[in-house]
Amino acid sequence: MKFTGGGMLCFFWYSFVLVSSAFSAQSFKENEEIQRSQFPDGFLFGASTSSYQVEGAYLEDGKSLSNWDVFCHTPGTIESNENGDVADDHYHRYLEDIELMHSLGMNSYRFSISWARILPDGMLGKTNPSGITFYNKLIDHLLLKGIEPFVTVHHYDMPQVLEQRDGGWLSPLLREEFAHFASICFKSFGDRVKYWITFNEPNLVSEFAYIRGWYPPAHCSPPFGNCSSGNSDTEPLIAMHNILLAHAMAVDTYRRVFWPKQHGFIGIVANAHMYEPLRDDERDRHAVDRALAFNVAWMFDPLVHGDYPSEMRECPGLELPRFSHNEKQLLRGSIDFIGFNHYSTLYVKDCIHSACPLGGDHAIRGFLNTTGYRDGVPIGEPTGMPRFFVVPRGMEKMLDYLKQRYNNKPMFITENGYSSPTPQTELQDWNRIKFHKAYMASVARAIRNGADVRGYFIWSLMDNFEWLSGYTTRFGLYYVDRKTLHRTPKLSAGWFASFLRNSSHNDAKDSVIERIEMKLEKKICREC
């Protein structure tokens, strides 16, 4: 049977209703109950996106090529040779997307600003007024709907000219470039933006761009990869060093120049897996400590305490850069909150006393190896991402680790999400609902135990460009048809809406069909 245009939409809609009604409500009720009332007043609940993954309009209105534009147009780098040229067309459809957020009842939205849209040629060029206008409109309309903007200044993408002219994050010149870009954002939007994130996941950028060679500028060396250039043992340390100092310079500017009038909060976001020992022995337990230090504390220790973690300083063969006395002063205390993206937990094996493949025997990886399996058994239910497993206890453990190490500094979970291993169940995404219920319950337990957690953002509002996976991996609450770009709510969207209303959401009937889709059903069926 062939379906086209509106007929295809109707087919999806009626299949959605029929299949979702066949699920057992009883099995849904067996999951751990979680309610919004279990979280503090003023807690931020929202969803996250990033500029390159959703905006599209990659060369419109004065925007220049970004490093990701160039990278994705290189054949063979992205699955199916896909790219973010159009993405979800959020640049043109932002009003529609804000309506989706409002219909869910979200009180915050985390998004990022495209550096190439604001400063196409870096600080040597002029500010692009069209870029400023777009984000002003986005922020203003969010506030009109009662949605707090939670803004990331840099989420992977930068003007390609900064890679070519300056050498990207391997160059100290990028520190001043970023501080200048951030100051333009503070000046242009800070009267309405109260929550700022300087960088998204510098620790993951350091690994994927400079150890593995998977992200631009695709630097690596054996045994981690066979890139045309790079040194996996030294370059990630240089890149992280420059990013941390760029962050500190931007925060210093914000606090001196803008905070007296704007009174906002500023932080940074780490990619934060939790870890458990592969074997019940002292060596693997110490390896867990190193894994956390080489991933999470690598970022946060300098920004809280003023220097790299002792676990890294004491690692044989690791040539960490040194901070000057003035740099330590600039770094120390340069975050108002800790942001982290948490998706899973992995096992850790010590590689000091055991042979390990794939670079686990290198100082840059902390002499350890991570895996999702023990004796062939996964640590948790597998998902659509190879190293993401459903391990809700890891969220509570991560919150406790951060609470203990950083004196319970305010924390925001800036990304947490689920991708299905079976795409045909995307609209009836019961496993995504179970995932978020379990992880939110873990957050609620941590809060009851004293963790100062202030927000939880689902990745993602809608299916988008998932970096190396292109559009084949989906995390969204809304399904995006790649031909029409129409947004269709999944069951998880209805669940999240009922959760945010603090209403009962265990009954399968209390779903997208009743809570959100009444008005969308009429619209879709008019197109049949």
Q: Which residues are catalytic?
A: 201, 415
DSSP string, 179-238: HHHHHHHHHHHTTT--EEEEEE-HHHHHHHHHTS--STT----TTS---SS--TTTHHHH
CA-to-CA dists, residue 270 to 79, 96, 199, 428, 454, angstroms: 25, 30, 8, 31, 16
CA 70-75-79 angle, to 5 degrees, is 100
Q: Tell which residue, 114, 113, 127, 244, has the closest CA to residue 180.
A: 127
Residue 399 to residue 444: CA distance in whole angstroms: 11
Residue 525 to residue 528: CA distance in whole angstroms: 5
Decide: 220 and 358 in contact? Cβ < 8 Å. Answer: no
* Sequence-ordered strand ranges (E) for 240-336: 265-271, 274-277
CA-to-CA dists, residue 132 to 65, 269, 300, 504, angstroms: 17, 24, 31, 41
Decide: 126 and 168 in contact? Cβ < 8 Å. Answer: no
Residue 363 to residue 371: CA distance in whole angstroms: 18
